[in-house]
């Protein structure tokens, strides 16, 4: 096991970095092979904004 420093990588070991790389590449391959219809950028952004606003609201209610 090769230990990595924060300057070299965000992962603690080279094995962790390689595992993440495999996982990420698999996710990309699955996405590229998908036959699902694409989602428009504006729809994705609108949904993300809803999630962010909901979490902001929950956080402010907890702080009160």
For residue 7, tell me if it sits in a domain.
no
Judge whether 3 lies within some domain.
no
Q: Determine, yes or no, domain membership for 4.
A: no
Q: Residue 33 — pLDDT band, cuts 50, 70, 90? A: very high
Provide the pLDDT for residue 29: 98
Range of the domain at 37: 14-63
Residue 8, domain member (yes or no): no
Tell whether 46 is covered by a domain.
yes
Structural domain contains residue 47: yes
**CA distance between the termini of the chain:** 47
pLDDT, tens digit (0-9, with 9 covering 90-100), for 3-15: 767 777 888 888 9
Integer CA distances (angstroms), 57 to 16, 43, 52, 60, in order? 36, 21, 9, 5
The domain tally of the chain equals 1
């Amino acid at each position: 096991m090769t230990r990595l420093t924060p300057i070299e990588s965000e992962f603690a070991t080279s094995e962790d970095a390689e595992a993440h790389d495999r996982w990420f590449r698999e996710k990309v391959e699955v996405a590229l092979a998908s036959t699902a219809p694409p989602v428009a950028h504006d729809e994705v952004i609108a949904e993300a904004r809803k999630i962010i606003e909901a979490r902001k609201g929950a956080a402010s209610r907890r702080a009160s």
